[in-house]
Structure 1
Amino acid sequence: MGKAWRYAAVAAVFGLGCVGALAEPVSRDKVLAALPRLDAMAQQLVANRAVPGLAIAVVHENQIVFLKGFGLREMGKAEAVDPDTVFQIASLSKPVSATVVAALVSDGVVEWDGKIADLDPAFRWHDAYPSAEVTLRDLFAHRSGLPGGAGNDIEAIGFDRDTVMHRLRLVPPSSSFRAGYAYSNAGLTAGALAAAKPTGQSWEAVAETRLFQPLGMTSTSARHADFVARADRAALHVDIGDGWEAKVTRDADVQAPAGGVSSSARDLAQWMRLELANGQWNGQRRIGADALAATHEPLMSRGKNPVTGATTFYGLGWNVEFGRHGLSWGHAGAFSAGARTLVQLYPDASLGILVLANAFPTGAPEGLADSYFDWVFDGSLRQDWLGAWNGLFASLFGPAIEAAKAAYAEPPQPSTPALPLSAYAGRYRNAYVGDAVLAEADGKLTLSLGPEGQHRLPLTHFDRDQFLAYAAPEMPDMPSAVRFAVGPAGKAEAVTIEFLDDNHLGTLVRVAD
C-alpha cells in the first residue's frame, strides 16, 4: 500500500468541521463562559497523553479572547508548548495559501479565473484541453481532474518540486475536467506557483510579502528550513506501539502551498481576524472583500461529514459547511508523520477557533472545536465529539494496516522459492518514477529509488517473484508488494512497485545494464 494512499486517507477528512439555519451572533458572555471548559478539556487531553502538546486560539468580534499552549513540544523533554510555539500546520496551509492568492487577486496581479497556461506557458498536464483551460479557481477547488495522490508518491522518494510538477503531465486524469472533486496537494501547489509567476518572486516570498509580514506573522513561513531554525518549535509525534514518540520528520517544501506552512497560534489568530473581518485587519483594508469572499463560496460537493452527517462543500482552499450551528468555513491538516491541525470559523457569529496538535492520529482538534461550539451556541454538549473524532482517525489506518499485514502474513502454501536474485537485479525505469535499481548483496535484494538512488529499501522475499518492502517509517509494519514479471529467458523484464502504483504508474521496465 503506497504513501499516496496514506495522503488520500488523511485527505478524506481534511477540513471537515460541522445542514442548518444561519448562525446567530453570539454574546461575548457566552463566548467567554465556554472557555474554562475548553481549557479543562485541553488540559485533560494532555494529562491523559492523548496528545503530547496543543496550542489553541479563539477569536471573537475581531479580538483574540483565548490564546494558550498545553503540554510538551516533544515527549521526553521539558520544553512546554506556548502561544508562540511553531507547528507544522500541514493542510491548514491550503486556506492560508488561498488568502495569499486572494491578496494577489485583490491587487490585480492575477484573477481567480486566470488560466494557468497564460501565467506559465510551460504548464502541461496529461490532456490538451484541461492544460489549456484550467484556472486558479479550478486548482484551488480541486476540480481539475488530477487524481488526489498524484505527485505525492514521487515526492516521498525524494524528487524536488520542479520534477514533481513536470511529471504531473504523465498522470492520467481521474475524472473529466471540472466534473469531479479530487483533493490534490500537487494541484493546489501548481495553482499557487502559477499565481506567483507574474510577481517574479518565489511562492515563499509572495506569501511573506502579501500576508505574513503585513499581519505581523513573524513566526510564520512556507520554508521548512525556517521551521527547523525556530528554537520554539513542536516536534512531530507518532505512536508505533510505545506511546507518542518523535520518530519521524516531514519536509513539505515540494508542496509548500498545500502543506508546508509552519506557524504559531498567535500568528494564525491574526489571520483568523483578517478572514472574519472580510479582509480588514487593525482597521485597514488588506485584501479586497470580493477577492477574499470568492474563497468561501461552496463550489464542489464533498458529500457528508463522516462524524456530524452535515453536507460539506469545497470552496477555494476552504471547506464550507451549513451545519448544526450555521454556516462555517474550516480546514484541517494532518501529517501521518505526526501533525494534526484545524481552523473553524463561524462568520455570522464572528467567532473562530484554531487548534494545533503535534501528533497523529488524533481527533483532538475536531473534538475540542465541536465541543467548544456546542458550549457556546447550546450551552451543553450534543454528543461526545472527542470520542467520535478519535474513532474516525483511529479507523483511517488501523484496518488497512491490519488487512495488509494479514494479506502478507504467510506466503501461499505451498510457497515457491525465488529465482536466483541475479534474475531480478538490474536497472528499471519509467518516465514518472524514473530509475529503480535492484541490487543483490549478501543474499538479499535492495531497492533504490529517487534522485541518485537515495531512497533505499531492503526487500523481503514473499513468494516466487514477489517481495515485500516497508516504505513508511511512521508505519514500520505496513508491507507493500514489489512484483517482478519474469520473461521466457528466466530474467525479470519489469517490476511493479505497489506503493508507487496508485495511479497505475508503478510498473518500470528493465533497461540495459
Structure 2
Amino acid sequence: MNHIRTVVLVASLLLNPARKALTQPMTARQVDQLVQHNRALFHIPGIAITIIKDGQLILNKGYGLRSLRTKQAVTPQTLFGIASNSKAFTAAAVGLLVEEGKLHWDDLVTTYLPDFRLYDPLATQLLTIRDLLSHRSGLPSTTGDLMHDPDSTSFTLEQILFNQRFIKPTASLRSQFAYTNNGYLVAGAIVAKVSGMSWEAFVEQRILYPLGMTRSAASFQDCQTNPNLIDAHKRINDSVRVVTRYGSTKNDAAGGIYSSAEEMSQWMLLFLNRGRYGPSLSKHLLSESLMAELVAPQTIIPVGQPGSYQTHFAAYGLGWFLSDVKGYKEIAHSGQDVGMVSAVTLLPELGLGVLVLTNSDSGAASAITDQIVDSYVGIAGQDRTAQLDQREQFGRRARQTVLDSIQRQLARQAPLSSADLASYVGIYQDQWLGKVRISLRHDQLWFATERSPQLRGRMDWFGDAQFVVKWQNPELDDGVLIRFGSSSREVKSSFVLQALTSPGSHTYDDLWFERIVR
C-alpha cells in the first residue's frame, strides 16, 4: 500500500509542479511548468513573466500566443495592457511635480481644478491630491465607472470630472478605503493642468522614456499600430474569444498604459533601487524620500485571517497596495481590463520583483505570482493554481445557479398586455449616466442607454414591476434587473438597476432614473 501511494504521489507531482513542497526559489524550469500548467488549465492564449532578484533579471519570457487571431507568439517585448498598474505611474507623475515644487501631496484639488465638486460640499472643500491617490474620498468603490466602461461611451474626460458632483458618498472623507478609478482621472487632470501637457505626454516623456521604456505607451492610441501587441481575450460561453478594444483615452490615468515584460522590469527595478536607475544606478528619477512616500501606508484596509502569508496589516499607499508577507513588506498591484490582466509584486527586503501579464481575464496572474513568492519566503504545500481553480469553478457554478433561477422565474411569468408594456415606455434620466430610452417594438420592450451604446438589450418581464435586461454584447457582464418604483402595474416614473450576478467592475447602486419624457 505504501508503495502504491508513493507512485501516485510522484505522478501527481510530475503532472502538477505547484504541489511540490518547495523550500528553495523556483528554478526557471519549474516556473515554465507552472506557467504552462496555468495556461492550459485556464485557457489563456498568452502570458509574459519577469522575475528580478537582487538587481538581476533572472527570468524574462513569453509563453503562448499574443492573439488567437494571428497565432503569433508572445515575446518579452510583446505589449500588454497593464490596466490599473497605471495608477502607480500617475502617483509617480504627481511625485515629479512635488519634487519640482509645483504642487504638494496635500494641496486641495480645487486649487488646480476650481470648478471640481463632490456631492458633499465639505468634502469638496477638504479633498486633497493625497486623498485621490489613496482611495479615501468617501465615494463608493467603482461607482461612476460606467461613464468610461464599456469603452465606447460618449462621455469626455471633462464630463466625467463634472459628474463626480452627482455621485453620493457612502462614507465620510478619509474614513475608509474604497477603490475608485475616477479619483485617478482627477489626479491625471491635475498633472495635465500643472505640467501644461497631457497626462499621456507627461508620463511618456518624464517617466517611460528616461527609464528606457521607449516601446511602452501611456495610451492604446499610441501603440495600436505596434505589430508586437496582444489581442485581449475573454471566456464567453465556454470558449475563449478575441474581444473588441475601442482605444478611448479618458481612462488612461487610471488604467491606460501598455508595456512589456522586458520594459516593465525597468519600472520594477526603479522601486527596488529606491528611485535610482541607469548605469551603476547613477541617475535618480525620484528622490529616495519621495519613493518612500509612494509606498508608505496612507489608507488602512481591514485584514481578515492572517492565512499562510501571516498577513497582519494591509493598506493603500500612493498607487500601490501594501501588506506584510511572512514578515516582509510587499508592494503590489494588479490590473484588469476586458481580456487583460497584470500583476506586479515587489518584496524590497528580498530584492525580489515578479511581474505576470496575461491576455485573458483569468486570475492566473495572481496564482502564478503567489506560487513564485511562496518559494522565496519559505511557504511550502500551497497549490495556488488549484486554489484559484476551485474559486473560479465555485464562482461559475454560483453564477449559473443565479442565471438558471432567473430563467425559471422568467418562464413562469404571464406576458404583459400591450397596454401594460406601453406604460413603461419613455425617456428616463440619471444625473450622471444620462438618458435611457425604453421603447416598444412588436410587443417587446427594449432598453438603450444614450451615452453608452453597448448598454442595451431586450427587457423581459420578471414580475413585481421588474424586468431582466441581458446585454446584447456578450463581452459585457450578464445584465441587470430593472426595478420600477412600485409593485403595481400602473404607469411607472422611475427605476433603479441591480446587477444580475456579481457586479464585477460596474456599480449600478448609485443610479436612479426618472422619466422625463413619456
TM over 0.5: yes
Amino acid at match of 1:495: F
Q: Say if 1:55 and 1:356, in contact at 8 Å, map to a contact too.
A: yes
Residue in structure 2 matching 1:43, options 16, 36, 47? 36
Distance 2:31 2:344 in 1: 15
Amino acid at match of 2:351: S
Answer yes or no: is 1:236 the counterpart of 2:232. yes
Aligned to 2:109: 116
Q: Say if 2:221 and 2:248, in contact at 8 Å, map to a contact too.
A: no
Q: Say if 1:138 and 1:144, in contact at 8 Å, map to a contact too.
A: yes
Amino acid at match of 1:119: Y
Mean Cα deviation higher: 451-460 or 100-109: 451-460
Instruction: Describe the shift of the 1:262–1:418 C-alpha distance in structure 2 as closer, same or farther (beyond 3 A).
Output: farther
Instruction: Describe the shift of the 1:180–1:448 C-alpha distance in structure 2 as closer, same or farther (beyond 3 A).
Output: same
Mind listing any 5+ residue stretches in structure 1 that lack a counterpart? 1-29
Secondary structure of the structure 1 residue equivalent to 2:76: coil
Aligned to 1:7: none
Q: Say if 1:145 and 1:174, in contact at 8 Å, map to a contact too.
A: yes
Distance 1:261 1:290 in 2: 25
Mean Cα deviation higher: 166-175 or 416-425: 416-425
Distance 1:508 1:418 in 2: 24
1:30-429 matches, cutoff 5 A: 34-48=27-41, 50-75=43-68, 77-156=70-149, 158=153, 159-249=155-245, 251=247, 253-282=249-278, 283-304=282-303, 308=309, 310=311, 311-324=313-326, 326-335=328-337, 337-362=338-363, 364-378=364-378, 381-393=380-392, 395=394, 399-400=398-399, 402-411=401-410, 415=414, 417-420=416-419, 421-429=421-429
Amino acid at match of 2:358: A
Give the CA RMSD over aligned residues.
2.8
Aligned to 1:15: none
1:415-494 matches, cutoff 5 A: 415=414, 417-420=416-419, 421-451=421-451, 455-463=455-463, 465-471=465-471, 473=473, 478-485=478-485, 490-494=490-494
For residues 155-212 of structure 1, the C-alpha deviation after alignment (integer angstroms, 9 at most, x for no partner) is 2361232222211111111111101110111122212322332111111111112211
CA shift for structure 1 position 347: 0.8
Distance 1:469 1:414 in 2: 15
CA shift for structure 1 position 354: 0.5
Q: Say if 2:148 and 2:250, in contact at 8 Å, map to a contact too.
A: yes
Name the % identity.
26
Mean Cα deviation higher: 285-294 or 470-479: 470-479
CA shift for structure 1 position 401: 5.5
CA shift for structure 1 position 72: 0.6
Amino acid at match of 1:95: A
CA shift for structure 1 position 214: 1.0
Distance 2:88 2:130 in 1: 13
CA shift for structure 1 position 394: 5.1
CA shift for structure 1 position 492: 3.0
For residues 113-143 of structure 1, the C-alpha deviation after alignment (integer angstroms, 9 at most, x for no partner) is 1211112111111111211111121111111
Distance 1:487 1:360 in 2: 38
Q: Say if 1:339 and 1:357, in contact at 8 Å, map to a contact too.
A: yes
Count of equivalent residues? 480
CA shift for structure 1 position 330: 0.6
Secondary structure of the structure 1 residue equivalent to 2:68: coil
Mean Cα deviation higher: 83-92 or 93-102: 93-102
Mind listing any 5+ residue stretches in structure 2 that lack a counterpart? 1-23
Q: Say if 1:236 and 1:247, in contact at 8 Å, map to a contact too.
A: yes
